[in-house]
Amino acid sequence: MKRILALVLALTMAMALAACGGTEDTGIKGVSDGVLTVGMECAYAPYNWQQPDDSNGAVPISNVPGSYANGYDVMMAKKLCEANGWELEIKMMDWDSLVPAVQTGDIDCAIAGQSMTAERAEQVDFAGPYLYASIVCVAKADSALASATGISQLSGTCTSQRGTVWYEECLPQIAGADIQAAQDTAPAMLMALETGAVDFICTDMPTAQGAVIVYPDLVILDFTGSEDNFQVSDEEINIGISIQKGNTALLEAMNAVLSKMTADDFNALMAEAVAIQPIE
């Protein structure tokens, strides 16, 4: 009888521990421990940025002690985790290291403002889109370019961020463009414009919207609806979440959440991110 009582007590304790947050296997590769590890630059406002505290719902950066991540990508990661009962871990990484980190399993996914291009899709699978981002240019408000109504009216020196469709696909479509070396990060791209190193830059609308808040002397050149605009495919303006090839369970879990959100939902969340981005 004592042995039976001891066995019952042991089973009861085990069940209680499991109910209190044990590491139950989710059955999904990468998040079997219940933790979704997400990579991003933490330097690409309003998509993502680094800050010194947890204000406005910021999340600790696991590989940069004492620093926190926030922005649209963090907000979206939190929604995905809440819907699936996962904990969230953020890792700060260089832009060029995101896809390799997904491939090797160093991170479960990259939520970092990546366009869902065919080239990337050869290396990773994409959940989403989780945003639709039109492509625009940005110039100084007091420059002659500020009144441009199409890309044929643009000329002079320009740049964009390295490894993006903005630099590789869009800038070459501008006949009058004097394309300078690509910038390593979005902040570096913006600084090149602000300091006069280039006459204009090419980026997406969310990045441009964040830029004109930080730098009020800049203006967005949006040629949407004009025939004199960039020729881009849906894959170049659809922003997705990169996942390791073949991780179907994680892909489906994310798409189950994203499929219930509309473009208006995405834009509303991005507006929240723009409103709280740091201004330096």
44 lies in the same domain as 177 = no
Residue 172 lies in a domain: yes
> Rounded distance, CA 236 to CA 207, Å?
15
C-beta pairs of 164-169 under 8 Å, 24+ apart in sequence: 164/115, 165/115, 165/117, 165/135, 165/232, 165/236, 166/135, 166/202, 166/203, 166/204, 167/202, 169/232, 169/236
Residue 167 lies in a domain: yes
117 lies in the same domain as 243 = yes
Which pLDDT does position 30 carry in this prediction?
84
153 lies in the same domain as 111 = no
Instruction: Return the minimum-mean-pLDDT range out of 17-31, 77-91, 124-138, 158-172.
Output: 17-31
Which pLDDT does position 11 carry in this prediction?
42
Q: Residue 137 pLDDT > 50, yes or no?
A: yes
Instruction: Return the minimum-mean-pLDDT range out of 35-39, 40-44, 126-130, 232-236.
Output: 232-236
110 lies in the same domain as 148 = no
Residue 159 lies in a domain: yes
Residue 230 lies in a domain: no
Residue 229 lies in a domain: no
64 lies in the same domain as 146 = no
- Higher pLDDT among residues 19 and 277, named by residue: 277
Which pLDDT does position 202 carry in this prediction?
98
128 lies in the same domain as 36 = yes
Residue 243's CB is within 10 A of a number of other CB atoms, namely 25
Q: Domain of 100: which CATH number?
A: 3.40.190.10
Domain that holds residue 102: 32-132+238-276
244 lies in the same domain as 190 = no
Q: Percent of the chain, pLDDT > 90?
A: 87
45 lies in the same domain as 123 = yes
Which pLDDT does position 280 carry in this prediction?
63
Which pLDDT does position 132 carry in this prediction?
94
Residue 7 lies in a domain: no
205 lies in the same domain as 153 = yes
Instruction: Return the minimum-mean-pLDDT range out of 12-16, 75-79, 87-91, 102-106.
Output: 12-16
Q: Residue 259 pLDDT > 60, yes or no?
A: yes
Q: Residue 35 pLDDT > 70, yes or no?
A: yes
92 lies in the same domain as 142 = no
Q: How many domains does the chain contain in total?
A: 2
170 lies in the same domain as 253 = no
Residue 232 lies in a domain: no
128 lies in the same domain as 243 = yes
Instruction: Report pLDDT digits (tens) over 138-190.
Output: 999 999 999 999 999 999 999 999 999 999 999 999 999 999 999 999 999 99
Which pLDDT does position 25 carry in this prediction?
53
Q: What is the mean pLDDT of the chain?
A: 91
Query: pTM to 2 decimals?
Result: 0.82
Residue 6 lies in a domain: no
